[in-house]
Structure 1
């Protein structure tokens, strides 16, 4: 495998040639643009109003002068490829000598408390060891959007934490001290004030790098980089600094209070951090050769170094926007390469919002090498308009939409610009009166008025009397033909008729009617519903065979049918060990959505070895945005019905639980092991002890979808008609860890665009590694299976074809895909106005796939 970058990148020359800027801009663009804004500010605010203007040169260069890191789009050299092959071969041979890991203990502790968040690199030593590499299938050469990061073993880094303290306030008699490890916006104990956060905190650190002469003198022959939050990285040791500086945030037109910044060496991770230790570990074949510093600290430092320049450019010039690992050129000046002329960097999508093209970049540590993952990404930004014009453009200019406007603009930065002309002291005449305000005479009865007012004529108000009367009044019973609600329609006309499936024809596409039908059918009445759009059924000139096939596949699954059976080599896993495959996912309300209900967990599991029926359970999390299911009550609601259902169909509880966990980021792997894994055992131990069965063997595999890894075949023979790798492509070497059990699987054929593979990481393994270490347990196939990696990869690939409503493979394996569908269906219930306490699937549907 070879890494490929999208564009040639050189830190020293990347931003040169953009307009006619002086040499100062080319050497330090951030400081140049900030000084220009300060000069403009002083022209309107003479000395005496705002003082303490920043001075001095650059912010440490970010690797531009003494540059230890450069990367290009060249394929790796022969030495790099040999190193990767050597590490892969050595790891595979070493796997038999090291344990494949049983039930983990004392997991989930991040060894580096100073890191922003845990990563997969920080957890690698606690996760199951890779039992080897996959051997089955045909070899194929692929490009990956990874760029080799050539590190020098002589490079040494020093990491410091930035402690920001607000100067003592004599009026209030208290000071504010900020904890760099706390989240932005946290209030320090006993102070009652908030710590500097966001852009304000970043600008404080930017002025520190620009103006602190002692800091520049201490790193005279080295370079500095920072994340503009709480970490400073240097290539030379720095003495402890404690100095008092007055900061003025001129680019935002506010004055910052005096702050004092103290550099502290972290107590948990001693300096220095040598790249030679990291390179030795990446090239090793045993975990015992781990470096004295956790790997995640090295990847954190390299990421800080990688993003420092773009973040410093953002602070000095509004043409850049950096959001986490993503950078965007928001000024429209960025020119795309010639082979991208059909693409645009920024385009309006309406409602005052633009879609902007950017790039994602992150350092990844692989087998024998460090890589930079680079991928094209897109973000949405508010158009840089005057606020009143933006409100008109967004369509939120009606008085009834003020609440929605306030919700949309929450957190948006608005720059206030004053006119320079003097305003006289004359009072302004009232030229507009707000209608609708009550006066003293409003609502007073007419008899209390001195004069009878003349009202304008109303329609029908002066109609003449016709003298007609009704001598024999009769009343119409409206209950017979009254307006029928959806609930009454289901409850009265179908519930008692013995129907269990309804085909519903919808007049229009939209969530309101669809959510209501699903809520009434699944929760209130207990009838399966299949919704169809009228435009696709009645208005099409020709019969759409594929559309009707999909509808009938859904209907058959809802009724408990079997659409197809899979025949695959690893199918004996399901029969020899009574295996239950579980899919678990947690969904949250979309950002900015009005539905503020709590997070929803959904779980599916098979009932037999046919993998045809996947009943589901739903549980509402006790808190919002709660990705981890650590409540025992929630796990009892989710897992216990599946175990009892499996025991009813197979006479015994399952011997093996294979859990595919979706919706988890790399920083939460340890929480799955430390919180969810024990809860699964608690539920199983209680049920199995009553049935006098041994607890099951549990394996948990994380399914990752929101990553930025992409693959491209080097030859047409290994590509489909859209230029993507053929379905069934597996990548488990080169860019992956030599120790962590992970692999990428592209099981599907993308309908359009670049196919995104699924990323699978084993975090708990009690079954695959220990069981298939014995060759006698291997599935019987030709060519033979060599190790547990072959078995898991083949089993996961087969599960990608088990989705009953489709005759094609899916991007992620069926359990994870269906768990995500269950969460979406649960969101329909709350969207229809059903309280989460009242969401309880009807008894008639619990054992069926009501959500499909």
Structure 2
């Protein structure tokens, strides 16, 4: 059966399910639970159609685990459903350090998903997420856009952030006074790009509407080979790794720049890999202790886990959203992964055409209005 015919059938099925739910229960369909017999390529088609065209939140699970009725599996499923429906799974007891005073704060995460190494035509997918509540900072909205093949710089960074700020203002009747940006996937050689291109683009977008919040830009790196080991039994966890909350900010860090390593998670398997944080721009006057405590506290607010995670949640969510955008593209293509271009194909021309034509003709990355303000991606 032709792939486009099957997509039309899926779209009609979701639309009819949405209409029947409204007739029977006199309300909008909140979530559609899809029990699958196995991991199936249809997953990406379901997500693409439901999230960009129909406007239904979906939750998939495997029948094997559903039939087992294991408490842990059901609990993991429940916290994802609760987060997708707008619920709060975790909230900090104490206020975040350094921001105890009045004024709203927004945390932003940004990442770019690139196609596989053999792919020379598919666009890269840029994703930006931002908190939509203060001081709980546990609800996020996301925006995703395609861009030229293997371009690490987020070309529409300022516009995407401005859109999220406007969304924050609609929900809270006030714009955030302070913004903390966490950027993922940037190496040391690209710090200048993040600082002098993306940050300036962000400031220009804000200035165009006469909005001038204070901004801090932090890069989070996981692609490194640095590991830390406890000196003795007193310093290690029950599994032999360094304890969660361990910070290293001397000797092995840069001699005069503002960077540090933070191991924020429980290492249950293998050797824990800390995250390396670099502060490229700071208008909030963070001290080392305040920023380290702030990031560690944020690691407890990840919606899909009841323990602290290894990466600050805004970056974690941005990675999930960028991957979801990749699924949208693969669904539109009708196969995964995208084909490798022949030697006679111009990769530059192909990538540019892919980005512009897909964004304009198919509009495949535009979320349905029902999902623009919720955490559909967790």
Q: Fold match, TM over 0.5? A: yes
Over 3 Å counting, the alpha-carbon distance change for 1:680 and 1:637 in structure 2 is closer
- How far the C-alpha of 1:568 sits from its partner, in A, is 3.4
2:196 to 674, 679, 694: 674
Residues 1:562 and 2:91 aligned together: no
Aligned residues: 339
2:15 aligns with 491
2:220 is aligned with 1:703: yes
Which residue, 632, 638, 643 being the options, matches 2:165? 643
Deviation at 1:816, TM superposition (A): 0.7
Q: Does 1:752 align with 2:276?
A: no
Question: Of residues 41, 44, 55 in structure 2, which corresponds to 1:515?
Answer: 44
Residue 625 (structure 1) aligned with residue 150 (structure 2): yes
Equivalent residue for 1:658?
180
- Correspondence list, 1:184-195, <5 A: none
Unaligned runs of 5+ in 1: 1-481, 770-787
Q: Distance in 2 between matches of 1:733 and 1:499?
A: 53
- SS of residue paired to 2:310: coil
Q: Against the structure 1 CA distance between its residues 572 and 650, is the aligned structure 2 distance closer, same or farther, given a 3 Å change threshold?
A: farther
Given candidates 732, 746, 761, the residue that maps to 2:249 is: 732
Q: Structure 1 residue aligned with 2:231, among 701, 709, 714?
A: 714
Following the alignment from structure 2 to structure 1, what is the Cα–Cα distance between the partners of residues 192 and 269? 35
Task: State the 1:636 CA deviation.
Answer: 4.7
Alignment partners' CA distance in 2, 1:799 and 1:627: 26
Q: Residues 484 and 671 (structure 1 numbering): CA distance in 2 closer, same or farther, change over 3 Å?
A: closer
Q: Secondary structure at the match of 1:847?
A: coil
Counterpart residue number, 2:140: 614
Looking at structure 2, the residues matched to 495 and 830 of structure 1 have their Cα atoms a distance apart, in angstroms, of: 27
- TM-score normalised by length of structure 1: 0.39
1:536 match: 65
Q: Which residue in the other structure is 1:547 paired with?
A: 73
Deviation at 1:737, TM superposition (A): 2.0
Once the two structures are TM-superposed, the CA of residue 571 in structure 1 deviates from its matched residue by 4.8
Counting only pairs closer than 5 Å after superposition, residues 119-130 of structure 1 correspond to structure 2 as: none
Of 178, 190, 207, 1:685 maps to 207
Q: Does the 8 Å contact 1:710/1:755 carry over to 2? A: yes
What is the rounded CA distance, in whole Å, between the counterparts of 1:483 and 1:743 in structure 2?
48
Q: Name the CA distance, whole Å, in 1 between partners of 2:298 and 2:306.
A: 13
Determine which structure has greater relative contact order: mean sequence separation of CA pairs < 8 Å that are 6+ residues apart, divided by chain length. 2
Query: What CA distance in whole angstroms lies between the structure 1 residues aligned with 2:254 and 2:82?
Result: 43
Q: 2:321 aligns with which of 822, 828, 839?
A: 822
Are the counterparts in 1 of residues 66 and 74 from structure 2 also a CA contact under 8 Å?
Answer: no
Q: Which residue of 1 aligns with 2:340?
A: none
Distance in 2, Cα, partners of 1:602 & 1:744: 25
Task: Work out which of the two has the higher radius of gyration on C-alpha atoms and give 1 or 2.
Answer: 1
In the TM superposition, residue 489 of structure 1 has moved relative to its aligned partner by 1.1
* Structure 2 SS opposite 1:677: helix
Contact 2:186 2:221 in 1 (8 A): yes
Task: Say which SS state the counterpart of residue 229 (structure 2) adopts.
Answer: strand
Kindly state the Cα deviation for residue 507 of structure 1 after the two structures are TM-superposed.
Answer: 1.7
Are the equivalent residues in 2 in contact too, given 1:504–1:532 (CA < 8 A)?
yes
SS at match of 1:582: strand
The match for 2:297 is 798
State the 4+ residue runs in structure 1 displaced beyond 3 angstroms: 834-837
Correspondence list, 1:258-407, <5 A? none
* Secondary structure of the structure 2 residue equivalent to 1:628: coil
Pairwise CA RMSD: 2.0
Listed as ranges, the gaps of 5+ residues in structure 2 are: 1-5, 23-27, 334-357
Deviation at 1:836, TM superposition (A): 4.3
**Match of 1:504?**
34
